[in-house]
Every structure is written in C-alpha cells, then in structure tokens.
Chains A and B, each alone.
Chain A
C-alpha cells in the first residue's frame, strides 16, 4: 500500500514538475518577442551609443577616430552643458512640486460628490490628449498677444511683454505650458489611489476625533504612496527630458537661457555635428537619472503602506 502511494506521489510530483516546466516554457515563449524588441531597440542602441561616445564622430562622415574618455572630460568643462543641467534641474523641481500638488488637489476635488463630476473629469483630462508641440505653439501666441494685452490693461509691467522674450521669465512660460498639459495623467493616477482608501478607516478615525488634516496625513497619504511613486517617476522623467515645448516656444532662447539637457544633446548631435560628444552627454544623463530614480524609489518604498 505504502509503496503504491509513494509511487503515486512520485508520479504526481513528476507530472507537476513537467507541467511546471511546460508553463515556464510558455511564459518564456511569450516574453521572447518583447525581449527581442527591447534588446534590438533599446539595449543595442545604448551600447552603440556608448561606443560612439568614445569617438569624435560628427554624425555624417564615413570615418571617425577613437578618443577615449575625452568627451566625458570635456562635458565637465562645458559651461553651456552645466548651465543646461542647472536649468533642467531647476525646471524639474518647480514642475514636480506644481504638478503633484495640483494633481492631488484636483484628484481630491474630483472624488467628492460633485455635480457634473464626470464632465469636470473629462474637462480636466483634456489637455493630456493634445501634443506638447501643439500646446507650445498655441501658448506662444497667447504669450505674445493675449497675455501682454491683459498685462497692459492691468498695469503690470512684467506681463506687458512676451514673457518668453526675457531670459529670466522664459522658464515660467515653458513651465506654464507643461504644467497645463501634465497635470491630467497624475490626476487620474491619484484618483485611482484615492479610490483604494478604505472608507471604514476614515469613519473609525472620525469617531476617534481625528481632524481632517490628521486623517489625510495618517490614512490617505500612506495609501497614496505607491501612486506618488509612480507619479514622481513619470513627472521627474518628463521634467528631465523636457524638449518639445522648448523647441515649440523658445528654441533654447533667449540666448541660451532655456536650453535643457535634451535640447542641448539634440543641438550638439544633430545640428552642430558633434554626434560623439552628444552621445557622451546622453550617457551621462542616463546614469544621473538612473541614480535619482533608484534613490527615490528606495526612499519612498520604505514609507509605503504595509512596509513599516
């Protein structure tokens, strides 16, 4: 009896393990196309890019020389690049704060019992549907003709000119266009997070006498952390790679005051025939963003609900 049972369990285990490996095979087969695409269109070009960053290729010639790490050393001495780093980080910081607060505020408003809630949700989501170039071009006209007219009527000197024409205020023009466009998707993500907060926790807290802000900080926020994580990654990535709106609105100007990293890489690589140098800049940015994302995720995942 015992012998038969052991053989049976042995057979069962064998069946499971074969089935197990069959499942694995199916999973692997499904992943291979995506893996190949990923390797072909991301991994391989990155390696090629790294290869070119060690050369002085101008993007067009048929021959080039290997110059080692000269490109990377030149980056640190390039004031234009360092200025664009400063500009991009300043821009990203402002945009992150604005987008997160606005998105969270709007999400909270739009999850209450509002009349025409569906309509308002559509209205606030609408900017995400437009392309950033379109939005940039339209804001161009707004900043040139409409805003100065308003500024003159109200008597505000600073607004009576095209704010994109002044190197100190051009940054804000770009921020306005990007924030208008970029609040929509984080707002939707936050709404999803808010929906996951259990109502009974709120009720229990109200019974215990917690104020609104205490409830928000202790109950809602921890549940929002994963959404905050996702939003932060998206917004920081969008901020650090800002490009479309700069091309549409200022072309890096006035002077070089609104050149972002992405814009400068594009200039160097494709317009100024410094392709090797531009790839070195991009590898540098890649390492920087990877570091920032890693640190941010590590820090935030500690504060997630269920982690403490």
Chain B
C-alpha cells in the first residue's frame, strides 16, 4: 500500500513539474514578428519595424538606422529579417498587421498582387522621396506604371570567373558570345571545367535562362506578356528556340554531373579552383570569396552575340515600401528620405557592393565594377521572368531542367506553350 502511495505521489509530482516546464517554455519562446507592428506614439517616441528580406545587409542597415536615430531621436527602427520574408509580409498584410517599413522587389511577381490589391502606399510624384534618386531608375522601379517604392540599389547577374585560371591560360574577357565559346574550348582543352551549372536547382535554371531570354530577344517581356494574354503563341517562336539551343550548347562545357550539382556544391568547387566560370547573381562572388579568401575572382557581363548589344540583367534589389494608410507613414518616409541621401547611399554601396541608384555615389565596387558601369550607363534590362507568376516561374524552371536532363527542344517548346499561353486573367 505504501509503495503504491509513494509511486502515485512521485508520478503526480513529476507530471506537475513537466506541465510547469512546458508552460514556462511556451511563454518564453514568443516570435518577434507580428508583435512589434507600427505602434502608436507613447510619449513622443515612435518605434518602427523594418521587415527585411536581405539578411546579409542587416549590419549595414543597422548602421544607417543608428545615424538616422542621431538626427531623429524620437524615432526608433528595428530590423526584422525572418526567413521566407515575402510570405511573412503577404500574410501579415492579409491579417491587417502590416509592418511600418519593408523591403520589396518592384519588378518581381511578389510585388504585383499586393499593388493590385491596393495594399502598398502610392508614392508617385512625391518630390522629397525621389529627389536624390537617379531619374531613369525612378522609372525603372515602377510597378504597373506607378511608384510604390523608393529604390536604393540594384542587383543583377554576371559571370563570376577565376582570374588566375584565365591568366594562366592567357584568356581575355570575352566580349561576344563566340569569344566566350572559344574561351570555353581553350579551358576544356587544358583539362579544366569551363562552366559550373547548379542544375539541380530549377530556380537557378529559371533565373539564368530568363536572363538569356532577355538578352537575346529584344522586348522579351512584351513577348511573354502577349503569350500570356493569348495574343501570340510561343511553341513556334524561333527566337525562344534559339535560346533553348543556347542553354544546351553551354551545358556541353559544364561539369560532368549537371543535374546532381546544387548551388552550394558549385560555390565549393569554384572556391577550390575546379571551375572557371559561373553565371549567376553578383552576390555569388562574395560567397565564393568567403569560402576561399585567397582566390582571385572577378565578374564580367554575359556577352551578347554582338559586343555592342551586351547589357546586364538587373533588378532593383534594395527598395523600401510602406503600407497604404499606415499609422506611421510620415516617420517611415523620413527614414526612406534619409536612406536616399548620398552619404548613406555611399556607405551602403561600399559595404554591400550593391549598385547604388542614388545620385552622387562614387562607384567603389570591386568585383561589381564592370556590371555597375554597364547598369549606370543604361545598358541594363529586366530578365524575362519579371512578368510571370510564381507558378509560371517554377514550371518554367522545371521544364528547362527536364530539357537539360535529356529532353527534346520540340517537347520543351510544347511545354512552354502549356505553361504560358493564355494563362493570364
């Protein structure tokens, strides 16, 4: 009897302890997001939340915020950079819990739906916000012909290459597509891998192929718009066909196991000196340098068929927006204006390497110098996928992946027709 009693007591005690621990744990682990939305003035102090998708530049953003706070001591800003930020933003807006400030990509599909639904503040024509932005980029950052965001910097695509390997083989930077293939041939003959393609990831395939489409086809965005609205077919489009062939041609100079290599593996192999060139975003160069600081790498723009047609695929990568009728929009606008001053833009460009679109910024870009020259002199374009929906982007990436995996171009063109033709509504 006594044994039973003590057993019961210990069991009850243990259960009580377990309950207390779980209750305590669940209270402590509250998420930061969602709790600190724009709060009302409490004695003059305003606290704003900046929801950011760019976790790699948080340090620089905080420096800008610190400087802003010196000039505006009653405004505090906190950066919150969760994973899947765009999804978090969409859900919070749908739940009437929009953050005071947030980063956006004005030419990406993630921008179009909220703009159509009227969730972002219309900033068109605001003199103070855009006064220090290079005018052509005020235009470049429009969504559906209006300004819903203040642009700060560009990010885009280029070929990251191993400078040492090029020097060793006596290669110069190719200015045309034919020169690029010749360089690849020389590298292959020397027993090294000319290109590294992370073809396991279809989103990378989609990004690079959309960049090719925009480079080789004039008005590629218009073409896709027409197809999506049912005005044109794509299955018989010879220009798209040529790009598909180009995708396959380049793969001949790629590594042995195309579909099995992921992005991390490519960065690893580039850092180890196993590949000569990697065409993707300019943010790959710092990643490779981080893996191997002794490697000499630089970036050149992917050449067009003719040297004078070469342009760089860019999008506005750093831009801020505010919600429509947000409580703290006037304070938020102050910060957006402050960030657009030449001093702050210079600091941002120097530290992050993103190409600034603010007037007066001196280009100190190291690897991104060539890309910046092209972009700022107007030789830039939006990749063809900026008007597609996320579903189209994924389907396109997967279809191209299947093409690389041994599909025929005919089947590919038919698939594109299925994906794009008359799918707009």
Contacts and interface: CB of A to CB of B under 8 A. Distances in A.
Interface string A102-126: 0000000000000000000000000
Contacts of A273: 389-391
B260 A253 contact: no
A273 B391 CA distance: 8
B113 A60 contact: yes
Question: For the side of the interface on A, what is the size category?
Answer: 20 to 34
Nearest to A252: B398
Interface residues of B, number: 27
Interface stretch (A92-100, A158-166, A288-296): A158-166
Interface in B169-210: 199-202
B376 interface: no
A267 interface: yes
Contacts of B391: 271-274
A215 interface: no
Nearest to B405: A254
B202 A253 contact: yes
Nearest to B415: A255
Contacts of A274: 391
Contacts of A252: 398
B405 A167 contact: yes
A304 interface: no
A60 B90 CA distance: 7
B113 A254 contact: no
B200 A254 contact: yes
Interface string B397-422: 01101100100000000000000000
B271 to A, nearest CB: 15
A256 B398 contact: yes
Which of B199, B200, B399 gathers most chain A CB within 10 Å?
B200
Contact of B261 (A165, A256, A271): A165
Contact of A165 (B94, B257, B394): B257
Contact of B259 (A253, A267, A270): A253
Nearest to B403: A255
B390 A161 contact: no
B72 interface: no
Interface string B371-399: 00000000000000000011100100011
Given A144-B262, A166-B259, A251-B201, 14 more contacts: A60-B94, A61-B113, A144-B260, A144-B261, A148-B257, A161-B256, A162-B257, A164-B200, A164-B259, A165-B259, A251-B200, A254-B405, A255-B398, A267-B394
28 contacts: A60-B90, A60-B91, A61-B117, A62-B94, A62-B117, A144-B260, A144-B261, A144-B262, A148-B257, A161-B257, A161-B260, A162-B200, A162-B257, A162-B260, A164-B200, A165-B259, A165-B261, A165-B405, A253-B202, A254-B200, A254-B402, A254-B405, A255-B398, A256-B398, A267-B394, A271-B394, A272-B389, A272-B391
Interface of A: 60-62, 140, 143-144, 148, 161-167, 250-256, 267, 270-274
